[in-house]
Each structure stands twice: as C-alpha cells, then as structure tokens.
Amino acid sequence: MNTQMMRETGASRSAGLIAAPDVVRTLTVVSSLRANQPATSKYSEFQTQQTAAKESARQLQQVIDLIPLQMFILEPESSASFENQAAHEYFGPLQAASLKARMMEVTHPDDLESVMGTYKNALASGQPFEAEARLKSKDGLYRWFLQHMYPLRDEQGRIVRWCGTRIDVDDKKQSQENAHRESLALREEIDRTSMFEEIVGTSPALKAALARIAKVAPTDSTVLITGETGTGKELVARAIHKRSSRAKRPFVSVNCAAIPKDLVASELFGHEKGAFTGALQQRLGRFEMAEGGTIFLDEIGELPAETQVALLRVLQEREFERVGGTRSIRADVRVIVATHRDLPAAIEGGTFRSDLFYRINVFPVEMPALRERREDIHLLVEYFVDRYSSKMGKTIRCIERKTLDRLQSYSWPGNIRELQNVIERSMIICDTENFSVDDSWIANRACANRPLADELVAQEKEMIEAALAETRGRVSGPSGAAATLRMAPSTLDSKIKSLNIDKRRFQVN
Ligand SMILES: Nc1ncnc2c1ncn2[C@@H]1O[C@H](COP(=O)(O)OP(=O)(O)O)[C@@H](O)[C@H]1O
Ligand SMILES: [Mg+2]
C-alpha cells in the first residue's frame, strides 16, 4: 500500500509537477501513515483513512488558497513544486517548467545574484532565510517582495522541501525610497543653505544665483558678479573664497571706485621706491598681499584705461610688475570682480576694454535686486532685527505689521544695504519691545508715467541715495558717495541740497 502510494507520487513527479492537492495529500498521508503504522491495518481501513485525508487535504488547500500571502513549496532536488492561488494570480499559472527555473526568470536581473547567493547558502546550511527582490508579474511589471523560506525535513532530519512565503512590500519600499529621496533633497537643501548661512533668502531668484555660486566656488575660475549696489556682491565674493581651496589664504578686497585714478596701479601692483613723487618706500600691492588667495576687485567698471591693460596681463599671463619696477612678479591669485555697471554699454562708450571684458566674463553671476525678490524681505528683516537687537542688547518681541507691510512694498533702491541700515537706525531709536520703522525713511517716491524731466530727477535722487546708503552718508573721501558716483564732493553736496536729501538718514551712530 505504501508502495502504491509511492508509485502514485512518483508518477506525478515524473510528470514534472505535483498538483497542489497532491502535495498536501502526500504530506498529510505520509505523516498519518507513519504515525499509525498502517502495515497492520486493513485495505478498507486505509481507504477510509485516505478519503478522510483527501478531504482534509482539500480543506487545507482551500485554506492555503484563501491566504492573501503567496505560498509555495519548492523541491530542490526535483522540478516538483506547488504554489497557492495568490501566487498564481500574480505570476499566472505555473507551467511545466520548474518553479526554480521560473524564479530565475521572474526575478529582476539586478536582484538575481543576491537572491541566488542567499538561496545557495541556505541550501548548504539548511537554515531558514529571507530575501528581498523585485519579481515580475504576469503583466510584465516588477514589484518588491519579501520572501521567506523554511526547510521542511523528513524524520531523519533531511531537508526534503522548502516552504516559502512572499509578502508584497512594494508600497513600503516605494515610500522608503521616496523618504530617502526626500531626505537627500533636504540634505542638499540644508547643505546649500548652510553653505551660505550668511546669505539670507529663499527666493527662487536668489537660489538660482546661489546654485551658480556653489558650482563655481571650488574651481579657480574668474567670476564676474553683477548687480545693483547693495545686492550682496561682496558677500558673495567672500562666500566664494570661503568655499574654495584658497580659503585659508588671504581674501583681499579692493574698491576700484574709491581709489584716485593715478594711484590705482600702485595700489594693485605696488611700487618701487622712487617710482613717483612721494614713493619714499617700496610698497606691496594688493595682488602680492593676496598671494595664494583671492583678490576681489569691486567696481571694476571704474578702473582707468592703463590699469585695465595691466589687469588684462595678470589674467592672461599671471604676471605683473610693480610701478617703477622692471621685474615680473608671478601672481597665484584668483580674481573675482564685481560691478553695478552695464559693462557692454561701457565698452560701447569706450570706457571699458572689450578684451578685458571677455577675460573677466568667464563665469557671470547676477545678483537680483531686492525688489525682484520681495519674498526675502520678511526673512531679511527678521535676520537684521535679530542681529542688531542682540548687538545692542535689546529685546524685541514683535515687528509691527504696518512696518513689515511698508518694508515689503518699498522699492529699495539701495537694496539690502539700505534695508540693513534702516533696521540698524530704527533699532537705535527703538525703546519698546515692538519694533517699528519711521515711515519717512521708507517713503516710496516711485511713480509711473512721470514726465521725463521728473523721471530723471527721481532717478538722480535714487542713485545719490543709494550711494549715500552704501557709504553710510559719507560724501567726500576715497570711500565717500562722491567717489562712488565719480563726481566732485562739492557738486554732490549741492545736489544733495537741491534734491532735498537728508544725509543724516544714512548715517549710523
Ligand atoms: N542675502 C543677504 N543676506 C544677508 N545680508 C546680506 C545679503 N546680501 C547683502 N547683505 C548685506 O548687505 C550689505 C551690502 O552687501 P554687499 O555685499 O556689500 O553689496 P554690494 O557689494 O553688492 O554693494 C552687507 O552688509 C551684506 O552683509
Ligand atoms: Mg560692494
């Protein structure tokens, strides 16, 4: 009887496949026969037992098919296998090919090696195992599954089959991947913001500029920063230096507009003793001071013609001579330049050399005006209020809504520098915990459809105010507004009077 049953099983095996009930029945009957020692029982008794076994196997099969989890039984030594309904639904019915062959076929090529490795190790060690892999459905789509396999042993402890389950973990995996991607994006964002922690703002216009700055910083390329006065050009130049391999070497800033024309060359390149009247000592220029580091040439558009030639030579040959000297000095200096001027227009006007322009225009970065990124104003106000209140030991609990609205609608001709000054001045005056700004400091003059003459006057006023904001109300001297505007201090003074500009507005302390 045993033999007959074995033959039956053997026949099914030789067909290459055991039907699911057969496997279950085989497992159930073998164990019940072994337990009851059926050799002594009668054939009818066995038949009854077999019918009962068949029924319980059928029920067991139904239960297994009801389980939403995929289940399968794999016989490593043969092609005989069994899969439950959930597995059939996903993969389609199991054809004559062995389950093992099909597993190879449906497993994603990128996951195959690791799954097969785990499987081989498990076969050798006889230990249960789990593996994650993408498996192809009958529709040709891959989903992630977590597969567990447990060895089933005979009485001698030999592994005869492996029982496996598969859980669809695709949704979990996708959300893990999304979370991973989000955290990468966030980390990138944090890196970017912390990379420029001193540059406040989150507007798209500023972010675009910062992205370019982040790219160029680690290179040794010349950078041309353009933008209106007070938009943060110098801040950016320092940030670029700080994020370059030259960070530990000097950063030397030169405002070309603030140096009298005939002294610019000596300021930049130094001079030998006796090079000109008053040159009593040899003097190092800014290029030599910046050796190994970065030189920032602000207001490059104001450079006199002769100095433009000398600068072109430094950029081309990395060499210069001191004024009155004959020896060439090598310059290992990164050059960053800035201007609020329209250089192509200056080339047209014959005040700027086009060959120098092409040399410096390697990597242009344009800083947006504050009115083009009004969404940053709130953040900047908070930042400066925080900075100046702690500097002055004041406690500010809130910023008045009206003040914030006015600050946000003002046109800011002097950009962030002007905003910073307005906040600093207001903080000095502020003696409550509510921060407010005097309306007259941020009165909007701009008005469309003005006659040309009025427009010119308004523009002139704006430019002078911006220059005063930059120089904190100083008119004369190398760093005064007159130098920035390239006009005589006395002319500027009379313009300030005629335009009714209150210089004190721009003075701090
Ligand atoms: N995005 C910004 N966040 C914080 N402070 C800024 C920002 N941009 C400019 N500033 C501040 O505004 C002032 C003017 O910036 P600066 O770099 O000198 O402008 P520019 O060289 O374009 O005239 C500086 O005190 C600078 O620290
Ligand atoms: Mg500047």
Residue 486: what pLDDT? 83
Ligand 1 atom having least distance to the Cα of 367: 22
Q: Residues 397, 403, 404, 410: what is their CA dihedral angle, to the nearest 10 degrees?
A: -150
CATH topology (fold) of 67-168: Beta-Lactamase (3.30.450)
pLDDT of 151 over the 70 cut: yes
Q: Are 415 and 408 in contact (CB under 8 A)?
A: no
pLDDT average, residue stretch 179-195: 59
Ligand 1 within 6 A of 200 CB?
A: yes
Which residues crowd ion ligand 2, with CB under 5 Å?
234, 298
Q: Are 97 and 104 in contact (CB under 8 A)?
A: no
Residue 20: what pLDDT? 46
Q: Which residue has the higher pLDDT, 62 or 311?
A: 311
Of all residues in the chain, the percent with pLDDT exceeding 90 is 41
Q: What is the pLDDT of residues 309-345, one digit of tens each?
A: 999 999 999 999 999 988 999 999 999 999 999 999 9
Long-range contacts of 486-495 (CB under 8 A, 24+ apart): 486/257, 486/302, 492/464, 495/460, 495/464
Residue 466: what pLDDT? 86
Ligand 1 within 6 A of 237 CB?
A: no
Q: Sign of dihedral through CA atoms 31, 33, 36, 39?
A: negative
Ligand 1 atom having least distance to the Cα of 416: 12
| Nearest-angstrom CA–CA distance, 423 and 442 | 11
CATH 3.30.450.20 domain position(s) in the chain: 67-168
Q: What is the pLDDT of residues 406-418, one digit of tens each?
A: 999 899 989 999 9
Indicate which residue's Cα is closest to atom 27 of ligand 1: 235
Q: Are 103 and 111 in contact (CB under 8 A)?
A: no
Of 39-53, 210-224, 362-376, 410-424, give the lowest mean pLDDT range.
39-53
| Nearest-angstrom CA–CA distance, 402 and 394 | 21
What SS3 class is residue 268? helix
Q: Which residues contact 453 (CB under 8 A, 6 or more apart)?
A: none
pLDDT of 9 over the 50 cut: no
> Which CATH superfamily hosts domain 204-365?
P-loop containing nucleotide triphosphate hydrolases (3.40.50.300)
Ligand 1 within 6 A of 199 CB?
A: yes
Does the pTM of the predicted model rise above 0.75?
A: no
CATH 3.40.50.300 domain position(s) in the chain: 204-365
Measured in angstroms, how far is the CA atom of residue 184 from the centroid of ligand 1?
30
| DSSP code per residue over 126-188 | T--EEEEEEEE-TTS-EEEEEEEEEEEE-TTS-EEEEEEEEEE-HHHHHHHHHHHHHHHHHHH
Residue 39: what pLDDT? 54
